[in-house]
Amino acid sequence: MQLFLMALTLAVAEPPPRPMSVEVIRDPITDQVRAFATVRDHRHRLVVGCEPARYDGPRISFHADRWLSRGNLFTGERPAIYRFDDHPPRRMMWDINNRRGLLTGRSRVAAFLDELVHAERLVIRTRDIENHRLDLVFRLRDVRPAVEQALAACGESPTPPSNRETRL
């Protein structure tokens, strides 16, 4: 009986989070580089990427398994609430298109990355196309080295050292 309970407990236990994977793609003709650091959790993805030939600076995107509620007609932006670990939730405008939310702008991305590389968990709350609440939960592991590797491949400076210790 005791063996059965232990097996049942192990079956219910959640597997450990997968580490963030890095993909660096070099165009065989132009040698232009694109790099992505991706974490997958369930059917959702969080991607930190850079493509210097197309965009200025790094970008962050989340990809949901359901169609998302459209953003503003003119800007495409829609607010999404996110929370790292047990920190207070924050609201930020994301460019929403189909099943993807995109965060751009050097200062906004830098602030998000500073929190991301220190966190163990990220929850992003948004709305699907039927206006139902949708929570994307990412358990984070080995994020800093993966993000730094992806950004360095594009010639971006890695995430700046945090002043978190001096703020506490």
For the stretch 77-105, pLDDT in tens is 888 999 999 999 999 999 999 999 999 99
CATH classification of the domain holding 9? 2.60.40
Give the separation between CA 42 and CA 65, rounded to whole angstroms: 9
Q: In this structure, how many other beta carbons lie within 10 angstroms of the beta carbon of residue 60? A: 20
User: Do the domain assignments include residue 167?
Assistant: no
Among 100, 102, 114, which residue's Cα sits nearest to residue 49? 102
User: Do the domain assignments include residue 130?
Assistant: yes
State the distance between the two ends of the chain, measured CA to CA, in whole angstroms.
49
User: Do the domain assignments include residue 165?
Assistant: no
User: Do the domain assignments include residue 43?
Assistant: yes
Give the separation between CA 104 and CA 56, rounded to whole angstroms: 9
pLDDT at position 7, please? 58
Q: What is the DSSP code string of 138-165?
A: EE--SHHHHHHHHHHHTTPPPPPPP-HH
pTM metric for this prediction: 0.81
User: Do the domain assignments include residue 166?
Assistant: no
pLDDT at position 32, please? 92
| Residue ranges making up the domain that contains 16 | 2-160
Number of domains present in the structure of the chain: 1
Among 154, 157, 156, which residue's Cα sits nearest to residue 26? 154
User: Do the domain assignments include residue 114?
Assistant: yes
User: Do the domain assignments include residue 168?
Assistant: no
